[in-house]
Amino acid sequence: MPIRQMKENSEQHFVIKPQVQNSMTQVQKNQKNLQNGKGPPTQNESQNAKINQHNSPPSKNRGRRRGRGGRKSDQSDIPMRPSSRPCTIVEKSMSEFPAIGKPVENGSVSVENGGNVCAMDMGFPSSSKSLRFAPRPGFGQAGTKCIVKANHFFAQLPEKDLNQYDVTITPEVVSRSLNRSIMAELVKLYKESDLGMRLPAYDGRKCLYTAGELPFTSREFNIKIVGEDDGMNGPKREREYKVVIKFVARANLHHLGQFLSGKCADAPQEALQILDIVLRELSTKKYCAVGRSFFSPDIRKPQRLGEGLESWCGFYQSIRPTQMGLSLNIDMSSAVFIEPLPVIEYIAQLLGKDVFSRILSDSDRVKIKKALRGVKVEVTHRGNVRRKYRVSGLTSQPTRELVFPVDDDSNMKSVVEYFQEMYGFTIQHTHLPCLQVGNQKKANYLPMEACKIVEGQRYTKRLNEKQITSLLKVTCQRPKDRENDILQTVRKNAYDEDPYAEEFGIKISEKLACVEARILPAPWLKYHDTGKEKDCLPQVGQWNMMNKKMINGSTVSRWACINFSRSVQESVARGFCNELAQMCQISGMVIFHNEYNPEPVIPIYSARPEHVEKALKHVCNAASNKLKGKELELLLVILPDSNGSLYGDLKRICETDLGLITQCCLTKHVFKINKQYLANVALKINVKMGGRNTVLLDAISCRIPLVSDIPTIIFGADVTHPENGEDSSPSIAAVVASQDWPEVTKYAGLVCAQAHRQELIQDLFKTWHDPVRGTVSGGMIRDLLISFRKATGQKPQRIIFYRDGVSEGQFYQVLLYELDAIRKACASLEPNYQPPVTFVIVQKRHHTRLFANNHKDRSSIDKSGNILPGTVVDSKICHPTEFDFYLCSHAGIQGTSRPAHYHVLWDENHFTADGIQSLTNNLCYTYARCTRSVSVVPPAYYAHLAAFRARFYMEPDLQENNSTGGSQPSVRATRGAGEVGVRPLPAVKDNVKRVMFYC
């Protein structure tokens, strides 16, 4: 794979090394010896070795603490060129760390490697093949042991030889379904003769697989396929194809067996791919395939979502290598399809009004054209003849005005006359436009009432709020129901009767895998000593703020409120603001204007949503005049429940233009004034203003292994991509990093725009040429390291990097590129600065589900019927040799909980299984926006929030339809041959980016 080449400069760059340098400090050696069971641990090390021994801290109120207690596909090789544009939201600080090798403030020794090391000396892998992911250091032991069930089904490894053949079809066919039809006809005609009774599996493109060899190494076949009815009275069209099948290779099943048993590290992807295709072959013929899932209206009755859309039930299927051998992962899934309605009924649903007698407006036509473009329809006016067409557009004229030439003499005939004379079909609704099918040069007109939408067309555009709500109701399943549906799907698929599975010798169990799991204890949380409860032990992943005060309450002395909701009167808004201010003070904040007066600096200002920018500037100016030049610290904003683009516009203006922290509240909450809601808003305001809500008691007591001993920075990173159908808008990368140690609770975040659907984070580290300063280094990692140094007075001596949103197919690319960027960012600060790195992938888009072994056992489930928070699995269904685990760190609310999957790709800090699992679980209790443990480790969660927020920063003309208006440049602008430029995001104001504004 291509490796990113950096421009040559005078700085010393560090790259991935195969192991930690021998010159690591004595502290690190002691930790390594401790984890390997070598050498006598010191007293401090003995304490660090006790993972999550949560002894109750002294407290008089212990008995009162039991209170009650939220897109990616694999890509091929991606070019990795350095970016020369500056990071748009990063403060360019060129201050470097003090000389390395000196004692830091807590008495520990900083990391050093004893001299300059060049890339060649360190053995940078030349490709992914020479890179090995971190091996599993052992299995975790912490927590209460239990048994859970997983939706993995044991698959017996076949003993037959698997052979791959290349398929070439002439003339070339683009459609997979047509390719499959051609090969199905070939197998039907030649199975018993030329194919030697083999039943091959076909991927729909270029590859054919067999169990055992075919009687030839290369052969040509001529196959005739009868096409769809062309609408004429003559015989159906018949087309002939030449198919050449040529032997390519034999899959090494011995290699696969060695890999599954842990005797070799490389997964034989070819063999796994063959087995996956074999087990999908029958379902591909029976159902509508979408990615790795299969859907059908016969699996369960489709549910209407509104506006001509419906939800189909289906199942996901994938073969996976695990510690128990091959596993077939089966899960239930849903997808949105266009309802197969008559077109005229579809547009009536789409527009939500009568179209049978009313003339369409221009906006109606635009909406219909946008919805139907590319959709397949079939004609209904010709009896059994159901020819299919793809809609290319909509006529601008109604049907009654449409005429077309019928001969070379330019004699014209109306569409109404033609359908009456040719088909005896009387068009009733001549006021409606016609559908255009075919290309622009030869477009045909079809009356809407003569067409029906073809069944089985997936809808991939954005859903509205009502459709999303309806979809969630359909897809939300309790764990017991989901488990039963999965088992029913496996029985219905009847893999023991699947002719392809039988042909290849694959046997699938019909029982869910029983897996040993452990329930990690919840961590003690520390609150302020002035509260009645100074600490708290969460129960089933939840707690509350009763009798507690934020450990670091912020002070807000200058605040105002703006109301964009017409239904909220000033008296109601004033009452809400007063209640919220009181809740902030009860929770530990100090909020006032005049001395101990929790009133806004100016009266609540009401404005219309369409005047958002004008209204915001008016409030800022009025407040500044009242405060004699001082700026507002906080702006409360009351929004309508349905506010369209108002929220995004407001955040963009306040955070990139005015430098103002905002807290938005919906109208429904303003009227209700729920205490729990107010408490949650207070939590958000506190962290936005620079405060901290709670910290881990173990962090205060310096008892977190491989975090508390030396200054440690924890990163979270994510990339969000545009929605399907958007082909030009940029992807947004976000990186957050902890700014406090040893508490590890505050995070600063940086965001950058990058190339469309680029998964690798381009601006982690970069260099560019400045006319005055020469070669300049920058990037998000470098600036966050500097920010940590300024905030804590320490330089990070250990890095933990949680990377969200990476699919398995991109593990090697992301690790090679981004770990290299981390190394270079560190080296750019000091030539010998190289803190050890642990690089962890966080995945939520997987299909492994964990179920309680006994759904009736109340002690093993939460209120929603899900497994208990803290449940961790690192055996049986996990990777045969690599360092991964599943962690369900949260309590379920509704539906079936999805555990997060953590895969440690690189580990120079030598974490034990218990160490990384307990650290990750404990961090999930530090999420600032609620009093619940969350499903994903907070650094990754915050990175996702920051990236999502930054999408609002794109200029308004780029957010709508991904197109630009007027003379503004487009998102993509050609810089040079082969280079693609991305319009940078506007910079976040300094006072905003210093706090957790994205919360």
For position 438, what pLDDT does the model report? 76
Q: Would you give the DSSP letter of residue 841?
A: E
CATH classification code of 343-454:
2.170.260.10
What pLDDT does residue 979 have? 40
Q: pLDDT value at position 596?
A: 60
pLDDT digits (tens, 9 = 90+) for 404-422: 887 777 788 999 999 999 9
pLDDT of residue 6: 36
Q: What is the mean pLDDT of residues 166-177?
A: 93
Write down the CATH number for the domain with range 553-691: 3.40.50.2300
CA distances (Å), origin 824, targets 498, 765, 833, 876, 977? 53, 7, 10, 38, 28
The two most distant CA atoms of the chain are separated, in Å, by 102
Confidence of residue 4 (pLDDT cuts 50, 70, 90): very low
pLDDT band at residue 382 under the 50/70/90 scheme: confident
How far is Cα 796 from Cα 426, in angstroms, rounded to an integer? 79
Q: Is the pLDDT of residue 654 over 90?
A: yes
pLDDT band at 595 (very low <50, low <70, confident <90, very high): low
Question: Which segments of the chain belong to CATH 2.170.260.10?
Answer: 343-454
Say how many CA atoms lie within 13 Å of 673 toward its Cβ. 14
pLDDT in tens, 474-491: 899 999 999 999 999 999
CB-based contact 133:906 (threshold 8 Å): yes
Reported as a pLDDT band with limits 50, 70 and 90, residue 594 is low
Region 533-552: what's the mean pLDDT? 96
Whether 976 shows a pLDDT value over 60: the answer reads no
> With 0-12 CB in 10 A as exposed, 13-18 as middle and 19+ as buried, what is 665?
buried
Measure Cα distances from 164 to 185, 201, 921 in Å: 20, 10, 44
Question: Is residue 645 predicted with pLDDT exceeding 60?
Answer: yes
- Please state the rounded mean pLDDT for residues 446-461: 94
CB 749 within 8 A of CB 734: yes
Query: What does the pLDDT read at residue 409?
Result: 76
Contact 906/134 with Cβ under 8 angstroms?
A: yes
Single-letter residue type at 278:
V
Mean pLDDT calculated for residue range 225-244:
70
Look at residue 22 and tell me whether its pLDDT is greater than 90.
no
Examine the pLDDT at 10 and tell me if it is beyond 90: no
Residues of the chain above pLDDT 70, percent: 82
pLDDT, residue 442, reads: 61
Highest mean pLDDT among 124-138, 557-571, 950-964: 557-571
Residue 242, beta-bridge partner list: 170, 222
Q: Is the pLDDT of residue 253 over 80?
A: yes
pLDDT in tens, 687-705: 999 999 999 999 999 999 9
Q: Tens of pLDDT along 113-156?
A: 333 333 333 334 445 556 899 999 999 999 999 999 999 999 99
Q: pLDDT higher for 46 or 320?
A: 320
Strand partners, 692: 552
Tell me, what's the pLDDT at 389?
92
Asked if pLDDT for residue 880 goes beyond 70, the answer is yes
Tokens coding 134? 């971190």
Task: Grade residue 959 by pLDDT with cuts at 50, 70 and 90.
Answer: very low
Give residue 25's pLDDT band: very low, low, confident or very high (50, 70, 90): very low
What is the band of 251 on the pLDDT scale with cuts at 50, 70, 90?
Answer: confident
% the chain with pLDDT above 90: 73
**CA dist., res. 787 & res. 766, Å (int):** 17
The pLDDT of residue 84: 34
Which band of pLDDT confidence, cut at 50, 70 and 90, is reported for residue 980? low
C-alpha to C-alpha distance for 314 and 288, rounded to whole angstroms:
9
Residue 210 has pLDDT above 80, yes or no: yes
Is 14's pLDDT higher than 50? no
Query: What pLDDT score was predicted for residue 726?
Result: 73
The pLDDT confidence band at residue 540, using thresholds 50, 70 and 90, is very high
Query: Angle at Cα 916 formed by Cα 915 and Cα 919, nearest 5°?
Result: 85
pLDDT given for residue 440 in this prediction: 60
341-369: buried (b, 16+ CB within 10 Å) or exposed (e) per residue? bbbbbbbbbbbeeebeeeebeeebeebbb
pLDDT at 754: 95
Q: Which residues contact 338 (CB under 8 A, 6 or more apart)?
A: 308, 309, 310, 346, 375, 453, 457, 458, 459
Question: What pLDDT sits at residue 42?
Answer: 39
Nearest to 389 by CA among 371, 408, 374: 374
Average pLDDT of the chain? 85
Query: In 760-851, where does DSSP find H-type helix?
Result: 780-792, 811-829
| Alpha carbon of residue 309 to chain centroid | 24
**Residue spans in the chain of domains classed CATH 3.40.50.2300:** 553-691
pLDDT at 20 over 60: no
User: What does the block give as tokens for 618?
Assistant: 């008016």
Average pLDDT of the residues in 249-277 = 90
Q: Encode pLDDT of 895-940 as tens digits.
A: 999 999 999 999 999 999 999 999 999 999 999 999 999 999 999 9
- Mean pLDDT over 66-78 rounds to 37
Over the stretch 730-762, which tens digit does the pLDDT of each residue have? 999 999 999 999 999 999 999 999 999 999 999
